[in-house]
C-alpha cells in the first residue's frame, strides 16, 4: 500500500527518497529483540524519485523505480534525514538492490 504523505522534497538526478519499513520485533523462535539488538532495516518504500541520471553525452537515463514500490537496499546505503518529524533515507538508484514484487 502506497504512502499517502505528500513530501515537500524532490530528489535530484538519480536519487531516490525511501521510507524504511519497520524491522522484525522478534526472531523466528519467538525471542523479542530490544532496539539495540535490531539490525538496520534494508527494506523501504519509495516516497519520491528524481528525474534520472544524466550521462556525459547529455542523454538522460530514466529511473527504473517508481513511487510506492517496495525495494531492498544495502545495509549502509544513503544518507538519513529527518523531515517534519519523519525519518527518510536518500539513496542513489544504483544503491537499490531489488524491487519487491507482489
Q: Is residue 5 part of a domain?
A: no
Cell numbers representing residue 78 in the block: 544513503
The C-alpha atoms of residue 54 and residue 1 are separated, in whole angstroms, by 31
Domain count for the chain: 1
CATH code (residue 82): 2.30.33.40
Query: What pTM did the predictor assign?
Result: 0.77
Angle at 77 between CA 73 and CA 79, to 5 degrees: 125
Q: Provide the percentage of residues in the chain whose pLDDT is more than 90.
A: 59
Q: Is residue 1 part of a domain?
A: no
Q: Is the pLDDT of residue 67 over 80?
A: yes
Domain that residue 55 falls in? 15-22+33-100
Residue 58 in contact with residue 23, Cβ under 8 Å?
A: no
Residue that wins the pLDDT comparison between 17 and 4: 17
The C-alpha atoms of residue 80 and residue 41 are separated, in whole angstroms, by 12
How many Cβ atoms from other residues are within 10 Å of residue 14's Cβ? 21
Q: Is residue 79 part of a domain?
A: yes
Q: Is residue 72 part of a domain?
A: yes
Amino acid at each position: 500500500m502506497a504512502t499517502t504523505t505528500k513530501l515537500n522534497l524532490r530528489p535530484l538526478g538519480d536519487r531516490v527518497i525511501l521510507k524504511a519499513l519497520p524491522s522484525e520485533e522478534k526472531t523466528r523462535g519467538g525471542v523479542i529483540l530490544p532496539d539495540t539488538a535490531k539490525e538496520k532495516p534494508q527494506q523501504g518504500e519509495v516516497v519520491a524519485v528524481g528525474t534520472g541520471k544524466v550521462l556525459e553525452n547529455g542523454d538522460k537515463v530514466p529511473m527504473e523505480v517508481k513511487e510506492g514500490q517496495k525495494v531492498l537496499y544495502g545495509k549502509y546505503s544513503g544518507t538519513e534525514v529527518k523531515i517534519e518529524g519523519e525519518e527518510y533515507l536518500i539513496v542513489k538508484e544504483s544503491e537499490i538492490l531489488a524491487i519487491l514484487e507482489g
